[in-house]
Amino acid sequence: MIISSAFAQAAPSGDPGYIGLLPIVLMFVLLYFLMIRPQMKRAKETKAMIEALQKGDEVITAGGVVGRITRIGEAYLSLEIAPNTEISVQKAAVQVLLPKGTIKSIQ
């Protein structure tokens, strides 16, 4: 008897399911505008900065080394970190392009 009365209940009328997907779609849109898009913009700006590097520019590397570019290759560049002292670093390690004359004011 208990089982037969359960079958007698009407099935609940529900939405077609599109309303249930709406929060998930909104989360992906929010994720795109708050995380993915700014990260792509920052990567594009960094790539443009690295491509525009020239001999004589003053930069800071990812490791915190401050120097002046003396030679530029395809993947590497040479930095003068002190008089007659040069190191080679990858172009991708350059984080910040400094204004001209910054190194003189630091020393």
Sign of the four-CA dihedral 65, 54, 99, 95:
negative
The H-or-E segment that residue 86 falls in is strand 85-90
pTM: 0.68
pLDDT at position 3, please?
Answer: 59
Q: What is the largest CA-CA distance in the chain?
A: 97
The tens digit of pLDDT for each residue in 9-18 reads 555 655 567 7
The tens digit of pLDDT for each residue in 57-94 reads 999 999 999 999 999 999 999 999 999 999 999 999 99
Q: CA torsion, points 34, 35, 38, 43, in degrees to nearest 10?
A: 180
